[in-house]
Amino acid sequence: MSFSICFTDDPAEFLDDDPKVPSAVGLITIGEFVENFVSSLYEWRKEKYERQWRDSLQQFVNGADRAALITW
């Protein structure tokens, strides 16, 4: 089964029409399942989300019984 999580190249969105709170559009794919999500960039930049995803997935691959992928 294939799996991926990433941010798209879609332009930044602004939550609740507030220009001070940018967000990024992401995409998660699990096998045939595909879903978009929106991540707030108020506290974390894209790079911090991506680092958290890699670290959590690496722990899962190394034997952890679960992984949490933060998107907000």
* pLDDT per residue as tens, the chain (72 positions): 899 999 999 887 787 777 888 999 999 999 999 999 999 998 999 999 999 999 999 999 999 999 999 999
CA distances 70 to 17, 18, 19, 28, Å, are 23, 22, 23, 12
The reported pLDDT for the residue numbered 55 is 97
Predicted pLDDT of residue 1: 81
The pLDDT value recorded for residue 13 is 76
- Beta strands, E only, 1-72: 3-7, 13-14, 22-30, 33-40
Number of C-beta neighbours around residue 68 at 10 A: 11
What pLDDT shows up at residue 17? 72
pTM: 0.87
- Look at residue 48 in the predicted model and tell me its pLDDT: 98
Select from 1, 20, 2, 8 the least CA-distant residue to 71.
Answer: 8
